[in-house]
C-alpha cells in the first residue's frame, strides 16, 4: 500500500509539472543593440537581474561600438528591434522622414551629479579653458552627433568660439592614443574612457552647454514596430524602468554587472563617474537638446519633442 501511495504521488507531481510546462507562456524574443557603456547600463541590469524574463521577454543584447548610424541601419533591416541613441541623431532621421521613436530614457545628464562625458586634454597641454580650444581639433565618437553639438555649445557658453572648432570622428578607445600622438588637441570622452585615460586633464563637460538636466541617450525603435508590438514595448518599458531605479541606488552592485558586459574593470567602474538613469520618458528632457541642435544647424529646425516619442496606448 505504501508503495502504491508513493507511486501515485510521483505520478501526480509529474503530471502537475507537465501541465505547468504546457501552460507557461513562451518568452517573446527581442534583439537589442547597445554600446557597452554605463549610459546604457539599465539594459544590462535588466538582463542580469532577470527583469526582462520576469516581464516575459527573451532578450538578446548585441554589444557593439559601431556608430548610431550602423545601429539604425540594423534596426531598419530588422536584425535588431531596439537601440539607443542621442536626440540629435533621432531628430535628423525624423526630418528625413524616418520614423524612429524614443520609448524609454537611458542616461540623463544632471548638473548635480559628476559628468560622465568630458572634454579632456593631455596633462602637458597648454589648453586650460574653452577659449584656448579656438581653432583646435577635437575627437568625437560621431560627427553631427549630440555630443558634438553639446561641445560646440559648451565652448561658446564658456568664452570660446564654437564655430572655430574642428571635429574628427574617432572611436572612444582610440582617443587617448590620438591625443598622445598629437593628432587631436582634445578629446570628448565618455566613461569609462575618461577615467581610464589617466594621462589627461578635464577642462569641462560638454553637457553643460545643453541644459542643467536633459536626456543624453534614449531607447528607441521604429514607430512601425512599436505600434505593431505595443505589449512587447510596454514590457520593455517596465523592465527598463525597474532596472534604472535599481541602478540609481546600487552603484557598487551595478559596477560588477557593468564590468561583466562592458569588460570595464570593477575598480575602474567604482572610481569613475556613474550614469544617472531616467525613469520615465519626459518631453521636457528631450526638448533642450533638440533646440540646441537646431540653434547650431545640426538639424534644419526644431520641433516638439513629442514628435519623436512613443507611449503605449491605454489598456482597455
Does a structural domain hold residue 172? yes
Rg (CA), the chain: 23
Please give the tally of structural domains in the chain.
2
Q: Are residues 275 and 202 in the same domain?
A: no
Q: Looking at 188, 210, 232, which one is the last position of a domain?
A: 210
Does a structural domain hold residue 12? no
The CATH code of the domain that includes 300 is 3.40.190.10
Work out whether the CA dihedral 254, 260, 264, 266 comes out positive or negative: positive
What is the three-class DSSP state of 40? helix
Task: Give pLDDT, residue 8.
Answer: 42
What percent of the chain has a predicted confidence (pLDDT) above 70? 90
Yes or no: say if 63 and 261 are a contact pair by the CB < 8 Å rule: yes
Does a structural domain hold residue 20? no
Q: Are residues 136 and 263 in the same domain?
A: no
Q: Supply 102's cell numbers.
A: 524614443
Q: Are residues 218 and 303 in the same domain?
A: yes
Mean pLDDT score, 39-45: 96
Q: Are residues 46 and 85 in the same domain?
A: yes
Q: Supply 41's cell numbers.
A: 547600463
Mean pLDDT score, 268-275: 88
Mean pLDDT score, 196-218: 94
Question: How far apart (Å, rounded) are the C-alpha atoms in residues 89 and 71?
Answer: 11
Looking at per-residue confidence, does 70 or 131 come out higher? 131
CB neighbours (10 Å) of residue 41? Answer: 28
What strands lie across the sheet with 107-110, from one edge to the other? 213-215, 107-110, 276-277
| Structure confidence at residue 4 as a pLDDT band (50, 70, 90) | very low
Does a structural domain hold residue 182? yes
Quote the distance between the C-alpha of residue 95 and its chain's center.
22
Task: Give pLDDT, residue 133.
Answer: 97
**Beta pairing partners, 169:** 140
Q: Looking at 157, 178, 210, which one is the last position of a domain?
A: 210
Does a structural domain hold residue 179? yes
Does a structural domain hold residue 280? yes
Range of the domain at 282: 28-111+214-308
Does a structural domain hold residue 14? no
What is the three-class DSSP state of 122? strand
Q: Are residues 237 and 193 in the same domain?
A: no
Q: Looking at 210, 240, 262, which one is the last position of a domain?
A: 210
* pLDDT digit string, tens, across residues 49-79: 999 999 999 999 998 766 666 778 888 888 9
What percent of the chain has a predicted confidence (pLDDT) above 90? 71
Task: Give pLDDT, residue 11.
Answer: 43
Q: Are residues 239 and 293 in the same domain?
A: yes
Q: Are residues 240 and 287 in the same domain?
A: yes
Of the candidates 236, 308, 248, 249, the residue with the CA atom closest to the CA atom of residue 278: 248
Amino acid at each position: 500500500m505504501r508503495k502504491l501511495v508513493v507511486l501515485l504521488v510521483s505520478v501526480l507531481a509529474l503530471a502537475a509539472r507537465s501541465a505547468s510546462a504546457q501552460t507557461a507562456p513562451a518568452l517573446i524574443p527581442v534583439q537589442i543593440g547597445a554600446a557597452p557603456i554605463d549610459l546604457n547600463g539599465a539594459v544590462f541590469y535588466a538582463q542580469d537581474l532577470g527583469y526582462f524574463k520576469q516581464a516575459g521577454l527573451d532578450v538578446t543584447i548585441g554589444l557593439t561600438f559601431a556608430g548610431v548610424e550602423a545601429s539604425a541601419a540594423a534596426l531598419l533591416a530588422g536584425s535588431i528591434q531596439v537601440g539607443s541613441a542621442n536626440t540629435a541623431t533621432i531628430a535628423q532621421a525624423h526630418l528625413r522622414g524616418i520614423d524612429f521613436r524614443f520609448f524609454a530614457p537611458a542616461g540623463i545628464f544632471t548638473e548635480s551629479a559628476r559628468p560622465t562625458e568630458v572634454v579632456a586634454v593631455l596633462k602637458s597641454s597648454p589648453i586650460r579653458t574653452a577659449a584656448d580650444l579656438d581653432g583646435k581639433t577635437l575627437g568625437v565618437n560621431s560627427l553631427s552627433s549630440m555630443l558634438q553639438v553639446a561641445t560646440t555649445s559648451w565652448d561658446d557658453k564658456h568664452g570660446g568660439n564654437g564655430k572655430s572648432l574642428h571635429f574628427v570622428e574617432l572611436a572612444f578607445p582610440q582617443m587617448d592614443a590620438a591625443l598622445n600622438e598629437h593628432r587631436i588637441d582634445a578629446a570628448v570622452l565618455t566613461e569609462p574612457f575618461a577615467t581610464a585615460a589617466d594621462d589627461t586633464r578635464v577642462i569641462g563637460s560638454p553637457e553643460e552647454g545643453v541644459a542643467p538636466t536633459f536626456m543624453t541617450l534614449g531607447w528607441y525603435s521604429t514607430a512601425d514596430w512599436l505600434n505593431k508590438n505595443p505589449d512587447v514595448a510596454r514590457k520593455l518599458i517596465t523592465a527598463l524602468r525597474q532596472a534604472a531605479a535599481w541602478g540609481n541606488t546600487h552603484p557598487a552592485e551595478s559596477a560588477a554587472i557593468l564590468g561583466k558586459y562592458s569588460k570595464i574593470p570593477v575598480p575602474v567602474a567604482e572610481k569613475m563617474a556613474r550614469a544617472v538613469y531616467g525613469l520615465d520618458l519626459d518631453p521636457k528632457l528631450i526638448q533642450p537638446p533638440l533646440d540646441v541642435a537646431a540653434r547650431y544647424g545640426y538639424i534644419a529646425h526644431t520641433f516638439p519633442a513629442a514628435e519623436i516619442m512613443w507611449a503605449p496606448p491605454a489598456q482597455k
